[in-house]
């Protein structure tokens, strides 16, 4: 039965790319960890900086910075298998981060690669993310990419097999690890579990206030819901556990964020 209010519209070329990516990513040996991280100290320092300097430090930039440092301490996580079964371990931690921006009045999350985060300062990472957010149209695709997305699906999807085939090409195109966020478009707590083509991906969820014992006393704390995803074909459980512990430590210590007396 036909309803006059029904509409049929073609899928955009960018949406085709997303569909292809998710289909290939779903075939990887991904393992997800749902982690609660106390971000009270980090958020308090960010608020203090905003009050004293009228500048809000990017929380996403802070997470990206901590991710770079954690992988620097556990470099075996910054690796991919090639088509011959060899493991490629990269020195630079290139983070593909989902950046919130506004295009034609609509909030969108678009990918941007922050290169060599393990060798950069938090300020440098923050400035690059802010610049990407203020870009006039970071969603614009090169002509070659637009034409590629018009190819038949069975051909297009081979592009997303690059991590398994040619890791160096994947690094140059899309980075080595990823950070995405569901918290940027809404409040409240919660985790997201999603397929990924990366060996390591962080999915930043919501932040909620929960009671925690600190030095024997119960106090309200700001708790971040963080999903840490690993490709088990590359990273084993012990390595993943050590990496996640180091990442949690860095975030909870507000690593890289100046204390009020240092401003």
Could you tell me the pTM of the whole model?
0.83
Is residue 161 in some structural domain? Answer: yes
d(CA 146, CA 156) in angstroms, rounded, equals: 11
More reliable by pLDDT, 170 or 164: 170
Q: Which residues pair with 89 in a beta bridge?
A: 79
In the 3-class helix/strand/coil scheme, how is 134-180 assigned residue by residue? CCCCCCCCCHHHHHHCCCCHHHHHHHHHHHHHCHHHHHHHHCCEEEE
Burial 110-133 (b: 16+ CB within 10 A, else e): bebbbeebbebebeebbebbeebb
What is the rounded distance in angstroms from the CA atom of residue 231 to the CA atom of residue 236? 8
**Rounded mean pLDDT, 90-103:** 85
Q: Tell me, yes or no, whether 62 lies in a domain.
A: yes
Residue 7 placed within a domain: no
- Please check whether residue 78 lies inside any domain of the structure: yes
What's the CATH code of the domain at 171? 3.30.559.10
Tokens 């690796």 sit on residue:
79
Assess if residue 262 is contained within a domain: no
What pLDDT does residue 28 have? 76
Domain membership of residue 6 (yes or no) is no
Owning domain of residue 227: 13-253
CB 57 within 8 A of CB 126: yes
Backbone angles phi, psi at 178, to 5 degrees: -140, 150
User: Half-sphere exposure of 172 toward its Cβ, with a 13 Å CA cutoff?
Assistant: 5
Classify 10 as helix, strand or coil: coil
Q: How far, in whole angstroms, is CA 192 from its chain's centroid? A: 12
The whole-angstrom separation of Cα 141 and Cα 21 is 16
Q: Is the dihedral of CA 12, 14, 20, 25 positive or negative?
A: negative
Could you give the percent of the chain with pLDDT greater than 90? 52
Mean pLDDT score of the chain, rounded to an integer?
84
pLDDT at 183 over 80: no
Domain-located, residue 258:
no
On whether residue 145 sits in a domain, the answer given is: yes
Statement: residue 38 has pLDDT above 70: yes
Tokens of 195: 């397929």
Q: Give the number of domains in the chain.
A: 1
The predicted model gives 48-53 an average pLDDT of: 92
**pLDDT-based confidence at 1, cuts 50/70/90?**
low
């Amino acid at each position: 039965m036909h309803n006059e209010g029904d509409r049929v519209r073609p899928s955009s070329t960018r949406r085709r790319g997303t569909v292809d990516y998710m289909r290939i990513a779903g075939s990887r040996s991904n393992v997800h960890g749902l982690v609660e991280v106390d971000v009270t100290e980090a958020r308090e320092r960010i608020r203090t900086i905003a009050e004293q300097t009228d500048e809000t430090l990017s929380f996403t930039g802070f997470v990206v910075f901590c991710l770079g440092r954690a992988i620097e301490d556990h470099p075996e996580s910054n690796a991919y298998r090639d088509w011959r079964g060899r493991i490629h371990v990269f020195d630079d931690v290139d983070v593909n981060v989902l950046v919130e921006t506004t295009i034609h009045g609509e909030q969108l999350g678009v990918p941007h690669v922050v290169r060599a985060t393990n060798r950069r300062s938090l300020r440098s990472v923050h400035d690059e993310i802010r610049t990407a957010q203020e870009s006039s149209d970071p969603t614009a695709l090169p002509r070659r990419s637009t034409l590629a997305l018009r190819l038949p699906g069975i051909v297009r999807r081979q592009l997303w097999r690059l991590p398994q085939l040619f890791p160096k090409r994947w690094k140059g195109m899309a980075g080595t690890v990823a950070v995405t966020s569901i918290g940027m478009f809404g409040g409240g707590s919660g985790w997201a579990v999603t397929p990924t083509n990366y060996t390591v991906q962080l999915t930043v969820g919501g932040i909620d206030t929960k009671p925690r014992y600190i030095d024997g006393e119960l106090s309200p704390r700001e708790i971040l819901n963080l999903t840490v995803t690993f490709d088990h074909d590359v990273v084993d459980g012990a390595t993943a556990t050590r990496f996640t512990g180091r990442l949690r430590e860095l975030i909870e210590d507000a690593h890289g964020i100046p204390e009020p007396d240092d401003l």
